[in-house]
Structure 1
């Protein structure tokens, strides 16, 4: 599961990092509380050019009659993505990267209260999450949407959540984006045990209206 993310890298730096052409309608950064159904930064390759663009976080299968015409598909399971009708074409032809500073997961205490955790790269670098995308709707109302690919969590993260996003290393960006032939399926696996670090944060982030860098500050113990 990956249901909330933080994006802090400036747009220009993001475009330079991925050698991508930036669109003009990108979401404002930093944003420490990016929620499903809102726009996220996405890297895709089209016509041999990488693009940095905004996409709706919440994949829209072609058969949805409206934006809320079915379940909200913010994640796609790596184990079944190639077989699921909603994702199988996108998995073959429309893979993307979702650059993030980190993401949130939740555990529960004995009373059922949701306790948030912030998860980021061990070295604090930007993470490139594996994703898939597609266009939905008539041409004059076209919506470009995306989902983050997830897999079973590694042993260290399993204490927080049993799923984690697939993270694509820089050397594999071209392969995942379809620039280097076949073999992208081999990338859909959990990150190594030391790749990520995580810490508890305040329950402020439980609200999708919360904002600010304090959301990722480690909770005092």
Structure 2
């Protein structure tokens, strides 16, 4: 799964990377502790070109009467995203890319203590997650999104059984629907050897924590 991540790339660099038109109300960066329900940086495709825009991280099905009318849907499993009533139409028609520098995951000690890890790309490139999105609300529609997850690859299986689906640059057009059909073939854990990970300070266990120190490698005694 993915329940927390970091984003550091400036918006103008994001727009240049994706050749996308940026919105004026993008979230502030850097943010080393992106939490569910906040706005995140999302790229969409379409006939008018790619757009870089803010979306609420937490997909809201159209039948919810309020954002808290049911479970908080921050992730969508690749194995079932095309079948679940909440996600299936978005999976066919509204796929997106969600930008990150890396994400956090937790393990537990035998005593139940949560130990945070930070996971990023070895090559230092931005980490681009597969996402789905839809507008929610009638009077003032609000775009909302979820991160698609897969089974963990051999890199991360020792930390968690799930991971975000990472989309490589060559596959962006396929996932965004710009290159025709075939996005389903992208829904796999991805090749091993792409990622690096290290323990970080438990301060990130709090959703109020902030600052670049959250992703620094923890030096243990």
TM-score by length of 2: 0.98
Distance 1:76 1:212 in 2: 28
Distance 1:109 1:55 in 2: 35
Matches within 5 A, 1:157-168: 157-168=156-167
Whether the 8 Å CA contact 1:44–1:52 is kept in 2: the answer is yes
Q: Does 1:94 align with 2:101?
A: no
Structure 1 portions without partners, runs of 5+: none
Cα deviations across residues 187-212 of structure 1 (Å, max 9, x unaligned)?
A: 01112110111100000000000000
Q: Does 1:32 align with 2:46?
A: no
Distance 1:205 1:119 in 2: 13
Q: CA deviation at 1:156?
A: 2.1
TM-score by length of 1: 0.98
Cα deviations across residues 43-95 of structure 1 (Å, max 9, x unaligned)?
A: 00132410000000000000111010100000000000000000000000000
Structure 2 portions without partners, runs of 5+: none
Partner of 1:152: 151
Distance 1:102 1:147 in 2: 16
Partner of 1:23: 23
* Structure 1 segments (4+ residues) deviating >6 Å: none
Matches within 5 A, 1:49-68: 49-68=49-68
Partner of 1:183: 182
User: Alignment partner of 1:155: what SS?
Assistant: coil
Distance 1:48 1:157 in 2: 38
Matches within 5 A, 1:100-119: 100-119=100-119
Q: Does 1:174 align with 2:169?
A: no
Partner of 1:78: 78
Whether the 8 Å CA contact 2:95–2:176 is kept in 1: the answer is yes
Whether the 8 Å CA contact 2:46–2:178 is kept in 1: the answer is no
